[in-house]
Structure formats: structure tokens, C-alpha cells
A and B are shown apart, each in its own frame.
Chain A
Amino acid sequence: MSKQIIIPFGPQHPVLPEPIHLDLVLEDETVVDVLPSIGYVHRGLEKLVEKREFTEYTFIAERICGICSFIHSLAYVQGVEQIMGIEVPERAHYLRTIWSEYSRLHSHLLWLGCFADGMGFENLFMNSWRIREHILDELEATTGGRVIQSACKVGGVRKDISAEQLDGMLLRLKDIKKDIRTITSVFLDDSSVKHRLKKVGMLSKQDAYDCGAVGPTARGSGVAIDLRETGYAAYGKLNFKPIVAPEGDCYARCNVRIQELFSSIDIIEQAAKKITEGPIDVKITGAPNGEYFSRVEQPRGELVHYVKGNGKKNLVRSRVRTPTFTNIPPLVMMLKGCQLADVPVIVLSIDPCISCTER
């Protein structure tokens, strides 16, 4: 056995957008063990639920993450609505679905850019983010915010999309789809990209299941879990299938996210066709008394919001289980046995969102 050394990776590292610390135990160039540690961006947002009214906490829940912000607020308001037994109008459900899918599009495009940057493919990074900008423009035009939409509220949504606006969005989405296809074909077919991704960061189906992998990390290993299939918001009325790639390497995880981009565009088109006229919110009275586990599918995987109220304006407890938190044990599994030069790509392949993880 050769001598073991420990190399610290992060919290400040060129490939990491957010701070996570990994102690890599190396034997020569091979990683034999990984000790992850988090706790660099804890903000105590869960505790704030006791200080703010349950309606106001929507805005704070949204700020847990700067990328999947809309889906955080959706999970929170769904929990409160279930406790209070509020029937949300159908149009609000469809609007929530459309905005969720737009969030997924911009999150995946951001990830593709970061991933290309991690591989050292700067041109691809710039091109992915240029497409993402069009998605952000749509979000800004419909909700008023580029990444913090503040469009969800308990009992419905705060903004409406007019029919002409929706038609325009669909028209532009076709162009965006064409651009995405050009960019993603490079990810999937380019020999240098393939060489960097194939057979790197292997995670078997059983390991993914045992370690509790969620989202594209699990689906890239062949585990078909997609919370959208539970039919929250308007997903129950739309036709789609979870995208699964069985290989379990970085290429499979990249492939899953790329196919999800097209699936998201398809879902938006379906929702735009089926959307019904009507009110977008209902008036709420009283305060939540009870508890609920709200589960939704974030771009990174399954998100759980636990909310508990005691009949007063302020909730008693809020607990958030974010997808990156559960994807850290699979990450450790993937890193064991890999080469040091592959570590950045493998870490990025789970799409780490650390500010989510630490709340």
C-alpha cells in the first residue's frame, strides 16, 4: 500500500459555484475515501417560520434556493393548502406547472453550462447560458422576477398569463428548442466530451437506491423515480414519463438532464393546450392547524417540505429536505476509486446546490 495523503477540495474551488468541503483521501492519484462536510452557508431560514406569518413565509421559502426558487415556494404552499383544505382553482394549478417547468429548463441549462465549464469547454458554457437567458426573460415577463419569481401564494398564484402571452411563449419556445438541440448534440456526440464523461463516476442501480439518490442522479442509474408522477399541481392531467438512463455514469446523468429539457418543453406545450379559463386564486381565512409532508420534484430531485401549524398565524415548525442533501452519500460512493482529475466532473454531475442543502 502506498502512502495516503489528504487533499482538501473546496469550499473555495474553481469548479464549485457554492461552498462544500470534501477531504479526498488519495493513494497516488486514486481517491480511496471522501469525507464531506457542509455548513458554510447556513442561514437559519427554517427557524424564521416562527417569526413570520404563514402567508409571508412563502417569500422566505422561495429564497432557500436561488435556482429552484419557484418550486420551493410551490412545495411550501402546497403543504399549507393541504393542512387548511384549500381547493386551488384549476388555472392556478396549470400556471404553477408551467412556471415549474420553466424553472426546470433554466436550472438544467445552468447546470449544463457549469458542467461544460467543469470539463473546460468554455464555448459550450457560454452557449448554454445564452439560451438560459431567453428562459429567464420569459419568467421575468410573466412573473416579474428573473430567478425569484414570487408568483406562488397560499390559495393560488399572484400573476396570470394572458392567452396572447402564452401563444408568444410557445412560439419562442420552438426556437429555444432548436437552439437546445444544437447545443446538447455536442454534449451527447462530441468525442472529447464522451471521453471525459463515459465510465466516470459509476453508481450502480442498487447503490443509488440504497444511498437514497434522488432526481437525475437516481434516474441516471436506472432508478425510475419522478415525483411529478404523483400528480401534484396539474401533472396528473399531463402525459409524460420519467426519463431513465441505465448506465450510471456521468454521461448518463448528463443525458437524463438533456432529455428532461425536451420533456419539460413538451409538458409546457401540453399544459398550454389544456389550460382552462377561470380564477387564479381563492381567498383564505383562518390559519393552518395540523402538519403535512409536501413532496415535489425539483430539477435536482425530490424536495420535501414539512410544515406544522397550531391554528395561529405563525407556523410552529418547517423542515426542508433538499435533494442535494440526499445526493451527498451517492456522491461519496461515486468518488471512491476515481482519479483525482475526474473529481470536479463527478462533483458537478449531481448538480450540487449547497445553499439549498444548508437552508
Chain B
Amino acid sequence: MTILKMASTAIKSLFSRPATLMYPVRPAKRTTTTRGHIVIDPANCITCRSCQRKCPTGAICVEVKEKTWQIDRMRCVICNSCGDVCPTKCLSMDPAYPAALTARGGVYKVAVAGPKKKEPAPVAKESLKTE
């Protein structure tokens, strides 16, 4: 009796709670592994530019001289490969999804600490040569 089966499913869902969340009122489901957006801890960044080289979409731009780290949220595909290669682990993934953006917005720039004094950033020099 499939007619009754479908009818019972329909009646059950009529009296049960909705399967969807009333999103802005109730927060979205998130797990600890959810890739939401990349966040940086500016104090630990040594401007080694590993993240810039490993980014598949070229969303990250690191200025070694100015000591800034910049990400274009519109370009970022949230793959976390920058977080994987970061030698100081200053890049991490936040489970909250970034807010909606317009095409012009989304560029986020921060001043970072830069290389430690005793290490003259060997990786940075090498990457400059290859480019």
C-alpha cells in the first residue's frame, strides 16, 4: 500500500518539527572541522610567503617589505592548503562562514610581525628568485 505509505510520511512531517533551521534566528549547524574562513594570527606570521605560493586561486598576497598579509575573500576557495603549509601555524580555519560580499569587497589586509630578527627569512628570498 504505497499510497498509504506516502500519506503516512506526509502526515508525519506535518506534525513533526521542521527539518530546516530558521537560519538567521537560530545559528547554522557547524562542526569543529567545518571550513568557514581563514584567520591569521598576525603576531606569529614571518612573511615567508608559503601560503601565497600554495594558494590555488592566488587569493593571498604577502608584502615582505611592508610586512602585510592580505587575502581576497572573494577569490579564496577555502581549501585550507595555506593552513597546511604555514610553518608557524599562524593561519587557522574558523568554522563560521564569511558573510556575503559584493564583488568589490572582501579584501582583508593586516599588518603582521614579520620575520624574527635572527632569521633573515630564507624562504622569502628563494621565492623572489623563482618569480
Contact = CB atoms under 8 A, between A and B. Distances in A.
Given A144-B93, A190-B2, A133 B19 contact: yes
Contact of B19 (A53, A130, A145, A159): A130
B93 A190 contact: no
Given A56-B81, A63-B77, A144-B93, A186 B6 contact: yes
Contacts of A133: 19
A75 B104 CA distance: 35
A57 interface: yes
A59 B77 CA distance: 9
Given A60-B56, A127-B13, A159 B33 contact: yes
B3 interface: yes
A349 interface: no
Nearest to A123: B10
Contacts of B9: 123, 127, 182-183, 186
A352 B81 CA distance: 31
Interface residues of B, number: 23
Contacts of B34: 140, 144-145
Contacts of B33: 140-144, 159
Contacts of A183: 9
Interface in B37-62: 54-56
Q: How large is the interface on A (under 10, 10 to 19, 20 to 34, 35 or more residues)?
A: 20 to 34
A150 B81 CA distance: 9
B79 interface: yes
A150 B54 contact: no
A112 to B, nearest CB: 14
Contacts of A182: 5, 9
A190 B56 contact: no
Interface string A108-145: 00000000000000011001001001000100111111
Contact of A59 (B2, B6, B19, B81): B81
Contact of B6 (A56, A124, A144, A145): A124
A124 to B, nearest CB: 7
Interface in B48-93: 54-56, 77-81, 84, 93
Query: What are the 8 A-B residue pairs with the smallest beta carbon separation, nearest first?
Result: A56-B56, A144-B33, A189-B2, A144-B35, A190-B2, A141-B31, A59-B79, A59-B56
Interface of A: 52-53, 56-57, 59-60, 63, 123-124, 127, 130, 133, 137, 140-145, 148, 150, 158-159, 182-183, 185-186, 189-191
7 contacts: A56-B55, A123-B10, A145-B34, A150-B79, A158-B80, A159-B33, A191-B3
